[in-house]
Amino acid sequence: MAIIYLDNNATTRVAPEVREALLPFLDELYGNPSSPHHFGGQVEKYLTIARTQLAELLGCRPKEITFTSGGTESDNLAIRGVLAARPEKRHIITSQVEHSAVLVQCQELSRQGYHVDFLTVDSDRQIDLEDLENKIQQDTALVSIMWANNETGVLFPIESISQICKAHKVPLHVDAVQAVGKIPINLGSTHIDLLSLSGHKIHAPKGVGALYVRTGLRIRPITWGGHQERGKRPGTEPVPLIVGLGKAAELAHGWIDEEQNRVRQLRNMLETGLAGSIANLQVNGAGSPRLPNTLNVCFKGVEGEALLLLMDQMGMAASSGSACLADKLEPSHVLLAMGVPESVAQGAVRFSLSRYNTEEEIREVLKVIPGLNEKVLQLSKAADPVKEMVSP
């Protein structure tokens, strides 16, 4: 049975072109780029090529790219690297709807004595810009806000946020793990100071990512060792993974328009079809700018996990939210922060598409899910009287 994969915000398949590009570096080109001999040194130029490919996607200079192991490390290096370089400043601003790589990190920093303000989102699921400006103080070391929410796909007004941060001379870190490759980005025309990304969200392998650091901004490493990555991130570079990331960036640069158009049309087809056939459906973030590939809905009166289990049995892969929190059965902190009632948030399902999804797949999903929803809904209704009977 062929899988219909609709969980691309969790991870993406490696593009065939990416696999082909990295294979030689697993076989004949396996030297260490830091080695003094030609066999190792010849590999270093491919790191430069990959850095250039990624810089072209982001609209920045190659020297502003630091390779990491992924989005989580990039977020940690950005936040902790800035704090280490500005030890006199102890205040951080972020939001309540961040990915756990930022949210949990800031919670830990709060326990370590830093003052952290967590911005709320308003009724339009957006950051309150006035609240942000009011919370900036002399002691503010950093503002860290995601570009696109990983669960709802809602896009935050990063340009406006960057203008506020620039006016107050506060560095801005943007977690763009979900945005890179899906929307056009030109860092050369923004006031973003740091930007995190992850390879496996753009059809590169897992285990590689990058951090953009604007020229002139000083950060300190958070791990210690060799000289690699201009001293920002020590350790022997995983050349095959970096080459794969570079190729994926090159492909994404040419796919942006398609991601914006064809994938959005498929997402809208799925959204319209579900809304037209399921009475107990709520679309989350529909009134806000969103990623073209993401649809987050709540099936009211239904346990989202139960519906996902039935979908899985039918060969359809989606999720209830962030894959990094998949072992927790609590409702999404993002939806709760958006004002979604806990009982409704329990029915959340996230569909996230990629360039490899087809119209035929969406039609099949639309044929199957209404029946599965009705099945779970009836089971939930049947279970309610039993719950009442056994309640103390």
| Contacts (Cβ under 8 Å, ≥6 apart) of 30 | 239
Write down the catalytic residue from 60, 106, 298, 324.
Answer: 324
Cβ–Cβ < 8 Å for 102, 108:
no
Residue 112: Cβ within 10 Å count:
9
Neighbouring C-alpha atoms within 13 Å toward the C-beta of 18: 27
Give me the residue label for tokens 């158009």: 261
> Distance (Å, rounded) from C-alpha 332 to C-alpha 345?
7
Between strands 91-95 and 65-68, the pairing is: unpaired
- Phi, psi (rounded to 5 degrees) for 299: -95, 100
State the Rg of the chain over Cα. Answer: 22
User: Number of C-alpha atoms within 13 angstroms, CB side, residue 109?
Assistant: 27
Would you call 324 a catalytic residue per the annotation? yes
Longest CA–CA span in the chain (Å) reads 77
- The answer for residues whose C-beta is within 8 angstroms of residue 198's C-beta and 6 or more apart is 70, 71, 74, 177, 208, 209
Beta strand 194-198 pairing with 294-299: unpaired
**In angstroms, how far is the first alpha carbon of the chain from the final one?**
46
Residues belonging to the chain: 392
Residue 254: burial class (beta carbons within 10 Å; 0-12, 13-18, 19+): exposed
Instruction: Give the catalytic positions in this structure.
Output: 324
